[in-house]
Amino acid sequence: GQNIDQPTEMTATEGAIVQINCTYQTSGFNGLFWYQQHAGEAPTFLSYNVLDGLEEKGRFSSFLSRSKGYSYLLLKELQMKDSASYLCAVPFSGGYNKLIFGAGTRLAVHP
């Protein structure tokens, strides 16, 4: 089966850096996605990692270690608008683009 774990909630201060972790178990690996979801809105794509290492995209970076079944999303220079849920997801190993989502990490950014 497949399993994804991420912390339920995190808080951080405006201007700071926060790291949101995700661990996964899957029988086959086809990459890992991070999505952002503001309250009452749709999930929006942030990043996709399929190779080990860090991928940087502006203030947001995503890291993957396939051997450890581990990923993190790094948010720098936090802004109030970054308050949202961050969803880690992996494609189901059985085929097709069936995404298995973690429960999401709700991030609250305070002034």
Partner 1 sequence: DTAVSQTPKYLVTQMGNDKSIKCEQNLGHDTMYWYKQDSKKFLKIMFSYNNKELIINETVPNRFSPKSPDKAHLNLHINSLELGDSAVYFCASSLRTSGQETQYFGPGTRLLVL
Distance CA 66, CA 68 (A): 5
Tally Cβ neighbours within 10 Å of residue 14: 13
Distance CA 63, CA 36 (A): 16
Contacting range for partner 1; rule: CB under 8 A; set: 17-25, 52-60, 68-76, 94-102: 94-102
Per-residue contact string for residues 17-56; x = within reach of partner 1 by CB under 8 A: -------------xx-x---x---xxxxx--x-x------
Q: Which of 69, 75, 66 is nearest to 4 (CA)?
A: 69
9 touching partner 1, by CB under 8 A: no
Interface residues toward partner 1, by CB under 8 A? 30-31, 33, 37, 41-45, 48, 50, 85, 87, 91-92, 95-101, 103-104, 106
